[in-house]
Amino acid sequence: MQTNIECDLCGSEKSMPFLELPQVPFNLVACSECGLVYLDPRPSPEELGQYYSTNYYTSQAAQLIKPTFHQFFKKLAYRARCESSDGITPLNRTTKRVVATLLGWHAFRPVPVCNQGRLLDVGCGNGEYAAWIRDNIKGWKVEGVEVNEYAATQAREAFGLRVYIGHLPNLHLPESHYDMISFWHSLEHMYSPSSGIRESHRLLRNNGVLAIEVPNISCWEAKFIGANWYHLSVPLHLYHFTPTTLSKMIQSNGFRIISMKQVHGNASILDAVNTNKIALPSFLKPLVKIAAHTLGRQSAWALRVYAIKTYP
């Protein structure tokens, strides 16, 4: 077990209690200087493995994605955004976006500024995201990083993906090699998210894109549900971000933020109901699920940021 952990954002050794957790001995603290929320005490890297179920990343086996109508519209929506800086006329781009929206599909984690390049997906899990980009957005080459060997094997076998096993800062990948590096719900799992972002700065070419999505500890849902908030994920999530702390960490490591979006969804309350974290008599469940779905959609439960590598 590790205790008295130094703040990963500002280096301060002073912290104050943030949230008392039922999962003894873990607790959430906030840095007294910069407000970064983190787990202290937390499991050591050697202990952490026992807290991951074998299917944490891969509760569903990786499956080849079939060309359905849904996929067609998804591709259309992606393309509309990919081409935003590629000499496409604003009218054409707007038309595509309107069409994609009217068809009822919002692109899931789009590639925002360049329409070709090399993507490194950090925490790629079973590889579905990286493989989808490779197979649907022409011009993209993709690779993944994953600490979980089981997930990495799935990504390799199901999608033929190149996956590096280990922690990003220890892999010594080639400098200025990638056009986009993504952390889709993986940054909060790292022992030092700052060093992950710093390493991304080294690995990206100039003007390359850093894409991050993490749970948002400052959303009302987190405050309302408290210690049972789904995305606390104790003790797997070692850090929790607000728009302020996430921005500071990105900017202090040589990036300029081009967009920060609050992601709305129905995951959290609904999951709490589904997994009986919020215990209810069964006759009430359908009703509460409808309410949770509606309320959850109003909650900005995650933050999605795109940033550009600048020098130094």
Binding site for Zn ion (CB under 5 A): 7, 9-10, 12, 31, 33-34, 36
Q: How far is CA 87 from the centre of its chain?
A: 30
Continuous segment of H or E residues that includes residue 142: strand 140-146
Q: Which residue has the tokens 């952490």?
A: 48
Task: Assess contact for 180 and 119: CB atoms under 8 A.
Answer: yes
Q: Which is nearer to Zn ion, 10 or 267 (CB)?
A: 10
d(CA 73, CA 100): 7
Q: Which is nearer to Zn ion, 74 or 248 (CB)?
A: 248
Helix 90-102, helix 69-82: angle, nearest 10: 150
Q: Which is nearer to Zn ion, 10 or 145 (CB)?
A: 10
Q: Which is nearer to Zn ion, 187 or 225 (CB)?
A: 187
Q: Which is nearer to Zn ion, 194 or 216 (CB)?
A: 194
User: CB 309 → Zn ion: shortest distance, Å?
Assistant: 23
Q: Which is nearer to Zn ion, 3 or 68 (CB)?
A: 3
d(CA 37, CA 25): 16
Q: What SS3 state is found at 210?
A: strand
Contacts of 146 (CB under 8 A, 6+ apart): 57, 123, 124, 125, 152, 155, 163, 164, 165
User: CB 186 → Zn ion: shortest distance, Å?
Assistant: 21
Task: Assess contact for 60 and 23: CB atoms under 8 A.
Answer: no
User: CB 30 → Zn ion: shortest distance, Å?
Assistant: 9
Q: Which is nearer to Zn ion, 38 or 164 (CB)?
A: 38
In the chain, how long is the greatest CA-to-CA distance?
59
User: CB 8 → Zn ion: shortest distance, Å?
Assistant: 8
User: CB 210 → Zn ion: shortest distance, Å?
Assistant: 21
d(CA 4, CA 52): 23
User: CB 184 → Zn ion: shortest distance, Å?
Assistant: 25
User: CB 224 → Zn ion: shortest distance, Å?
Assistant: 26
